[in-house]
């Protein structure tokens, strides 16, 4: 369980953990005295969608653990069609690593998985960072069929990482330039890469989004029972998951600081990696019971 030789997602080797007849792909690197930091990934994202500009600075001070959920990248099995199913796999993975408690960055789909995990097993996380995500019963979650998004996603000139520049960033020159830089950073890794996700992954994860939009009883009531220090981050012009979802999270979680970024969409953490890692690092380094840092 020691940290790997290199402390960058550009070079860290991919590892496989066998547990409960499943094989989970992950990368673990960095060191320091902080609790390990688990990263839960966005829709169709693999280990190779984690920007080294956000993972690497946070790997100084603690180990970071990037993880492919079941059926994604080189992890075995089928992609669950519910967030609850993904949460179970993530907990099985942490159990397999022997980690009883860690910190977490849950991004988009991964934020929903983190929220489900902390509800199912509160001791699993100490501090949570939720980026561009939504609570159960949130609004307008990942409707890629919306004309504004569908046009960009279906454009044949947008292939591979290029589509991310169009849907994770705003149309401003500054945001598009940040998107270019993001793609360059993702492209630095040359070997030992995950294959991109195909339509089977997208289809199952989309079913999970649709189920997550439903709710029973009082909307957001389950959030009020979560008192873990939480940092919520989102771009104000996120078209994939509107920022209103972060407003509802910060209003209903008992102990959450909200930070929103200007001229930014779904990829706000990749647009402003220096700011994001500075704030995230300060938040994670605190041992206060309060989220305020």
Residue 260, interface with its own copies (CB under 8 A)?
yes
Residue 291, interface with its own copies (CB under 8 A)?
yes
Q: CA–CA distance from 250 to each of 13, 23, 45, 205 (Å)?
A: 36, 35, 25, 25
Helix-helix angle 83-97:199-212, to 10 degrees = 110
Site string for its own copies, 221-240 (x = CB under 8 A): ---------------xx---
Residues in the interface with its own copies (CB under 8 A) total 24
Q: What is the DSSP letter of 261?
A: E
Choose among 37, 41, 19, 20: nearest CA to 29.
37
Residue 254, interface with its own copies (CB under 8 A)?
yes
d(CA 132, CA 258): 11
Residue 214, interface with its own copies (CB under 8 A)?
no
Structure tokens at 215: 């709710």
Structure tokens at 200: 């089977």
Site string for its own copies, 115-154 (x = CB under 8 A): ----------------------------------------
| One of 25, 66, 70, 256 touching its own copies (CB under 8 A) | 256
In the complex, what is the shortest distance from the CB of residue 290 to its own copies, in angstroms, rounded to a whole number?
Answer: 8
In the complex, what is the shortest distance from the CB of residue 267 to its own copies, in angstroms, rounded to a whole number?
Answer: 14
Are residues 167 and 159 in contact, defined by beta-carbon separation less than 8 angstroms? no
Identity of the residue, 49 or 268, whose beta carbon is nearer to its own copies in the bound complex: 268
| One of 125, 209, 261, 270 touching its own copies (CB under 8 A) | 261
d(CA 235, CA 169): 9
Residue 255, interface with its own copies (CB under 8 A)?
yes
Choose among 42, 108, 98, 31: nearest CA to 72.
42
Identity of the residue, 88 or 266, whose beta carbon is nearer to its own copies in the bound complex: 266
In the complex, what is the shortest distance from the CB of residue 264 to its own copies, in angstroms, rounded to a whole number?
Answer: 9
278 Cβ contact list (under 8 Å, min separation 6): none
| One of 67, 250, 267, 269 touching its own copies (CB under 8 A) | 250
Identity of the residue, 97 or 115, whose beta carbon is nearer to its own copies in the bound complex: 115
| One of 112, 114, 186, 259 touching its own copies (CB under 8 A) | 259
d(CA 89, CA 85): 7
Structure tokens at 89: 């796999």
Residues in 152-191 at the binding interface with its own copies, rule: CB under 8 A: 174
> Where do we find the tokens 């389950």?
222
d(CA 109, CA 207): 12
Q: Which residues bind its own copies (CB under 8 A)?
A: 174, 236-237, 243, 247, 250-251, 253-263, 272, 275, 290-293
């Amino acid at each position: 369980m020691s940290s790997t030789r290199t402390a960058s997602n550009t070079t860290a080797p991919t590892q496989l953990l066998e547990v409960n007849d499943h094989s989970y792909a992950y990368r673990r690197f960095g060191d320091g005295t902080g609790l390990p930091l688990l990263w839960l990934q966005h829709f169709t994202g693999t280990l190779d969608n984690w920007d080294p500009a956000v993972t690497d600075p946070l790997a100084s001070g603690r180990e970071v653990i990037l993880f492919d959920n079941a059926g994604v990248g080189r992890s075995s099995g089928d992609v669950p069609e519910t967030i609850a199913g993904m949460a179970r796999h993530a907990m099985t993975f942490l159990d397999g690593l022997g980690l009883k408690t860690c910190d977490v960055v849950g991004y988009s789909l991964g934020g929903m998985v983190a929220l489900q995990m902390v509800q199912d097993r509160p001791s699993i996380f100490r501090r949570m960072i939720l980026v561009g995500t939504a609570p159960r019963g949130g609004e307008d979650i990942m409707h890629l069929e919306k004309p504004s998004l569908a046009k960009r996603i279906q454009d044949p000139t947008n292939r591979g990482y290029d589509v991310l520049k169009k849907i994770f960033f705003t149309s401003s020159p500054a945001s598009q330039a940040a998107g270019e830089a993001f793609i360059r950073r993702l492209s630095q890794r040359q070997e030992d890469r995950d294959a991109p996700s195909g339509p089977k992954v997208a289809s199952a994860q989309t079913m999970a989004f649709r189920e997550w939009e439903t709710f029973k009883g009082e909307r957001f009531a389950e959030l009020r029972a979560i008192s873990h220090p939480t940092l919520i981050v989102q771009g104000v012009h996120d078209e994939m998951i509107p920022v209103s979802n972060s407003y509802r999270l910060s209003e209903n979680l008992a102990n959450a600081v909200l930070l929103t970024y200007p001229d930014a969409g779904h990829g706000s953490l990749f647009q402003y990696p220096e700011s994001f890692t500075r704030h995230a690092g300060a938040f994670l380094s605190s041992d206060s019971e309060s989220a305020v840092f």
